[in-house]
Amino acid sequence: MTTGQWIIFGTLLLTLVLFITGRWRYDVVALIALLIVALTGLIPAEKVFSGFSNSAVVTVAAVLVLSRGLQNSGVVDVIGGWLAALKGGIAIQLAALTGIVAFLSAFMNNVGALALLLPVVLQLARKKEFPASVLLMPLAFASLLGGMTTLIGTPPNIIAASFREQVVGEPFRMFDFTPVGGGVAIAGLLFIVLVGWRLIPTRSGKDSSKSLFDIENYITEVRLSGKSTLVGKRLREIGDFSKAEILIIGLVRGGERRMEPSSQTKLQAGDILIVRADTENIKKLTGTSGLELVGSEKIQREDLESEDVTLLEAVIMPNSVMYGGTARSLDLRARYGVNLLAISRQGKLLRGRLDHIRFQTGDVLLLQSHVETFKKVVETLGCLPLAGRDLRIGLPRQMILALVVFISALTLAAVGLVPVQVSVIAAVVIMVITKLVTLQEAYESVDWPIIILLGAMIPVGGALETTGGAELIADFLLRVSDQLPAGVTLVVILVGTMFLSDVVNNAAAVVLMAPIGISVAQGMGVSVDPFLMAVSIGASCAFLTPIGHQSNTLVMGPGGYKFGDYWRMGLLLEIVVAIVAIPLILVFWPL
């Protein structure tokens, strides 16, 4: 191998390890890979950031904004209202839920489609007394299956289309993925509804009968005795509490309960403080500050709420500003007016020093905030409330306008009158002008880590081609499968992409596997189309782990899943996909 090939393979191996370990977020890992190939001269200096001008990057960003416009119009919430009124057993509920989320994911961001329906599903599980874990994983997998069916359904399809344009001179069109992706999606949904959900372990998570959090485990009442050293002090002056990481969330005085009392409140003998603290710190303070454990009836959720203050459970979204931070570093109480009461990860309550726990995507938080501001605060923090939310029913004019704009953009791209990147950008501009989406919402709706990932990894994928690395891998595959039918090589590409997407972001999987698939096709002297189709399908099959796709990560906390729960249904689902996809690819995209 040449020096360049050693460097690119070493870079890809390092990138793969960093993706798997999760030490840094995928956009940071992608930038590290980009810097390595740039500093080693594998790509010219003027092309280091060429990935950010790629049409696939622009299209992905625009589709995310269009998804926000559909959400704002109330179209999706109307569908959510229909789902909430469903009747029947688990199989019927799953058929409707997975079918709807798959349909939505075909035309909007699949994580967004899942997030919109997640509160509806949890409310349905509570109402029907179904384990939420039986519903949430199928919902996440259905969002991936639905994304396979159209060009804009998922970033891998958009990226595969851009690779085809480089080789053939023409990208895949809007519904070129539908014959294969649609057939795979239908087969996958049938498997989930008839067989798959029975393979999912029943986890506690956010179940139908009770909250994920037991208030009495971490909320305590302490009374100030007449001899307490805290009497006469204002709340902001109690330094011992902050040192011991005890958070005051309420005060009871003369029978009156005040939630989130002012920091200027002066403490009196007989006051009862409602605090969040672990047992060890409470024992320390009761021995030194003249505090007494009240020891009355257990505190209930309603005891921590009032007309002005409420509790809510929310899950951290993939693009949340909270990712990697702590309650202390984010200064949640001072900056956002939010008290963090508890954190649950993979269905388990995290104990100890909450202010020092680094947040991860999928963590479920119990927050206390003011009623008037909590919706805006949660949106700013990038969290999804898990309680049943008020439907945003838009005006009929808004819904009609949003649908007309969206369908027009799809139609223009589908018939080839306008390139897809132009049609979706035009739709975004119209939505902003007509105020279906504000400028702030447009920028907030873009998943910038994904944009950074794509912009950084596209040049890295280019380096894999220019160094001859893709051709080297392709030659190896061709030698191995030399005596086998060409379709077997297609299976290898599909399955290889599947397993890669289980440990790295699916967009990165396409960027890495598409050049290999193209080199294999060219080495065999056949069309690149079936190989690109196999890569795009395989990249959307991250069914084995919670880290392969953001949809899987999002349901992990609310469903109470463990890391190893996903493969139980996911492995068989990937086998079903492979069995269905290969014949469909060979029929509609012959070699």
The three state secondary structure string of 66-113 is: HHHHHHHHCHHHHHHHHHHCCCCCHHHHHHHHHHHHHHHHCCCCHHHH
- Report helix, strand and coil shares of the chain as percent, to nearest 5: 60, 10, 30
Over the chain (591 residues), the average pLDDT of each successive run of 10 is 86 85 83 91 87 86 86 72 71 88 88 80 76 88 94 90 90 93 96 91 54 61 76 73 67 75 79 71 63 61 68 82 84 81 76 76 83 80 72 63 88 86 91 89 85 88 84 80 77 90 85 89 90 94 86 83 87 95 94 82
Cα 265 off chain centre by? 41
Given its phi and psi angles, is residue 352 left (phi above 0), alpha (psi -120 to 50 degrees) or beta? Answer: left
Residue with structure tokens 């996809």?
581
Domain boundaries, the chain: 3-206+414-588, 215-298, 309-385
Q: Say what the pLDDT of residue 508 is.
A: 85
In eight-state DSSP terms, residue 340 is E
In angstroms, the CA 407 to CA 108 distance is 12
Q: Say what the pLDDT of residue 80 is.
A: 65
Both tokens of 277, joined, read: 């603290």
Q: Fold identical between 215-298 and 309-385?
A: yes
Instruction: Report the predicted TM-score, pTM, of the whole model to 2 decimal places.
Output: 0.78
Which residues 6+ apart lie within 8 Å of 274 measured at CB? 219, 220, 221, 248, 249, 250, 251, 252, 299, 303, 304
In angstroms, the CA 68 to CA 546 distance is 25
Domain at 215-298, CATH from 3.30.70.1450, 3.40.50.1000, 3.90.1150.10, 1.10.3210.10: 3.30.70.1450
Q: Are 267 and 230 in contact (CB under 8 A)?
A: yes
Given its phi and psi angles, is residue 456 left (phi above 0), alpha (psi -120 to 50 degrees) or beta? Answer: alpha
Q: Say what the pLDDT of residue 209 is.
A: 39
Sort strands 247-253 and 291-293 into parallel, antiparallel or unpaired.
Answer: unpaired
Domain 309-385 class, CATH top level: alpha beta
Q: What does the buried/exposed string (b/e) look like for 248-266 if buried means 16 or more CB atoms within 10 Å of the residue's CB?
A: bbbbbeeeebebbbeeebe
Q: What angle do CA 132, 134, 139 make, to 5 degrees?
A: 90
Bridge partner residues of 345 (DSSP): 348
**Sheet with strand 247-253: strands edge to edge:** 256-259, 247-253, 272-276, 219-224, 291-293
The three state secondary structure string of 387-418 is: CCCCCCCCCHHHHHHHHHHHHHHHHHHHCCCC
